Copies of this chain bind each other. A is one copy, B any other.
């Protein structure tokens, strides 16, 4: 069976994702589509709109055969570390290809950019360090570094291109036997918050619309019915969707009661940002107002969101330094084909395949995952808080048979 990997967040799943899955299956002739997915917190430091289980169901309903979890220590990270964890998991479970979305859909630009970067690694590293020392953000420093080599072979101001570039680099640096491919994205820029296409819109714009209208029908044109139904069920069960504002009281409590020394132990707290956090938190009444007050040229919104996620989950520099590579493959869900595939690779997979989270107790990556789940569940009043925690610890991988999938 040929397995092909995708790297996803599905926050929430929408028609663009559906298009990517269909194209991927068709172009690669995959027998088994494997998605590595962020858990409760996402790459840009945000809580996922609904739980990993609900999002795994959306993925399965749309044709994914196996959903595995990207551990927190890789999920809530800048592109390089995120890519490093994700491609290793896909390779470990036996994917022969990785297929990501990009603006152009031309893999050659990614290969050429990665080649230049890796060949000139020292120069790039040194240029970026100089930029950072001058107070630039990482993306800004990287963009200036590219200018020294003439323009980059691809537009690295586009978040999807940055990720694709990181995937290719990570595959090569880890010498993985997995071929990178790319498929052009349909319409809608990643950050677009307005609708311009009749059926395609970015996850960002969908979350915004949902937040503003509170009505699922307002996004129905852009989301497959099965995913919409998951959103509906989730809100019915838990009473709400997740966003940063839900967690702001916890963040405020934690920032006010942690000492500056405590904060300096947290991953991402560098260069005295702990003073700014402490300085602005007492007066801030919303997460958005807080981040706006703390934001600097160097500390971008995304970087601050990630840092705040680490404050909430108590994810330390020490833990980040130790999280070199994934240590397990956690299954969140599978189809009939997925189950056949897993049976086939169970023995040969490069990392242990784990269905029951209880088997992971004590594994440091999973202990971090449990803490992230504890934060995530704190969005709910009891008894839902306890119920959501139990879901993290005790849910068996979701199985969707062919008939259920239709």
Using a CB–CB cutoff of 8 Å, the interface residues on chain A facing chain B are: 248-250, 252-254, 256-259, 262, 282-286, 312-314, 367, 370-371, 374-375, 378, 381-383, 385-386, 389-390, 393
> Complex Cα distance A382/B246, Å?
12
Contact A259 B385 (CB under 8 A): no
Contact of A282 among B254, B282, B375, B386 (CB under 8 A): B386
**With A and B bound together, what is the CA distance between A28 and B330 in angstroms?**
73
Q: Which of A248, A257, A284, A378 has the most CB of B within 10 A?
A: A257
A367 to B370, CA, bound (A): 31
18 further contact pairs, Cβ within 8 A, besides A249-B382, A253-B374, A257-B371: A249-B381, A249-B385, A250-B250, A250-B253, A252-B374, A253-B375, A253-B378, A254-B254, A256-B370, A256-B374, A256-B389, A257-B375, A282-B374, A282-B386, A282-B390, A283-B390, A285-B385, A285-B386
Q: How far is the CB of A30 from chain B (nearest CB, A)?
A: 39
Instruction: Name the residue of chain B whose CB is nearest to the CB of A265.
Output: B262
Q: How many copies of the shown chain assemble into the complex?
A: 2
A360 CB to closest chain B CB (Å) equals: 15
Nearest CB in chain B: distance from A238 CB, A: 15
Residue of B nearest to A393 (CB): B282
Q: Which residues of B contact A314 (CB under 8 A)?
A: 257-259, 262
Contacts of A313 in B (CB 8 A): 257
* Chain B residue with Cβ nearest A285: B382
Residue numbers in B under 8 Å from A256 (CB-CB)? 370-371, 374-375, 389
**Can you list 20 contacts pairing A with B, beta carbon distance less than 8 Å?**
A249-B378, A249-B381, A250-B250, A250-B253, A252-B378, A252-B385, A253-B374, A253-B375, A256-B371, A257-B312, A257-B314, A258-B314, A259-B314, A282-B389, A282-B390, A283-B390, A284-B386, A285-B382, A285-B383, A285-B385
CB of A369 to closest CB in B, whole Å: 12
Instruction: Take A258-B314, A314-B258, A314-B262 as given contacts and tell me if A386 and B253 are in contact as well, using a CB distance cutoff of 8 Å.
Output: no
Which B residues touch A254, using CB under 8 A? 254
Residue of B nearest to A248 (CB): B382
Docked pose: A399 CA to B187 CA in angstroms: 66
CA A222 to CA B152, docked complex, whole Å: 78
Complex Cα–Cα for A386 and B283 (A): 6
Which B residues touch A378, using CB under 8 A? 249, 252-253
